[in-house]
Amino acid sequence: MIQLVSSQVADTTLATPSQDIGSSFLATSIWDLFGYAQGFEYPLGAAFLIGLFFLCSAYVRYFRQWRGSKALLRLKTAGLSARALQAALDSASPNNPYRLAGERLLEEQGRGGSPQTMLDYALRYIGFDHDNYKEVDRYITAVVYIALSLGLLGTLWGIFVLFTSGSRHASSDLVGLGIAVVSTMLAMCVRLLLWPVNIFLQAQVRKRYKELQTWAVATAYGLARKEAPAYEE
């Protein structure tokens, strides 16, 4: 009877939130495992902060750059004069892509260019400007893949430590478990937080530049008093 009661007490002590075994502390939550991650949380946290910096910079640039675009989109391009276009462009912010593309159209028209040469000149600038956002996409992709690689490395290293420790002590087990769990969790957080936000940004940017290309075609032929052809990207 005494042995049965003592065994039940031992079982209940194993179920307590935390306890000391030797000199080690048993983790009772995911946050406790960070203490056993052996530094894998630092490069993964740095990767997340770097990716977040690139994304925030791109979003700030996006919202500041495209202000005043709706007014230019409502501009009637049929029979448009150079003076009317310049007046409309002056109302937009200096770095607005519509304004810069419109100025390229007027610049080429001033050199006596045809609607096609005006359009080629403006679309070349539009492509260069769009490449700035594509660079952000490449940076975020690199950060995500680096984080996933570090997470996989941490998972494998944690499993290695877990199964090759000399003694089956709780402290040695928690080191391997902490490395594996924390590195995997942080890598997935980087992937799930940065990747969807970047995809949304790139989709919005592509939509904006497609509208800008359509507007540039209509404006170039409107300045030349000609009917604009259907533009296909």
pLDDT in tens, 120-171: 999 888 888 888 888 889 999 999 999 999 999 988 888 888 777 655 555 6
Tokens of 29: 């939550």
- What DSSP state is assigned to residue 81? -
**Averaged pLDDT, groups of 10, the chain, 233 residues long:** 40 39 50 73 89 91 84 81 86 86 90 88 88 89 92 88 66 74 88 92 91 89 68 49
Q: Which tokens sit at 51?
A: 């990716």
CA distance 9 to 230: 82
Interatomic CA distance for residues 209 and 201, integer angstroms: 12
Strand partners, 20: 25
Residue with tokens 């028209």: 109
Domain ranges in the chain are 30-67+77-221
> Is 191 in contact with 144 (CB distance < 8 Å)?
yes
How far apart (Å, rounded) are the C-alpha atoms in residues 53 and 75? 36
pTM for the model = 0.70
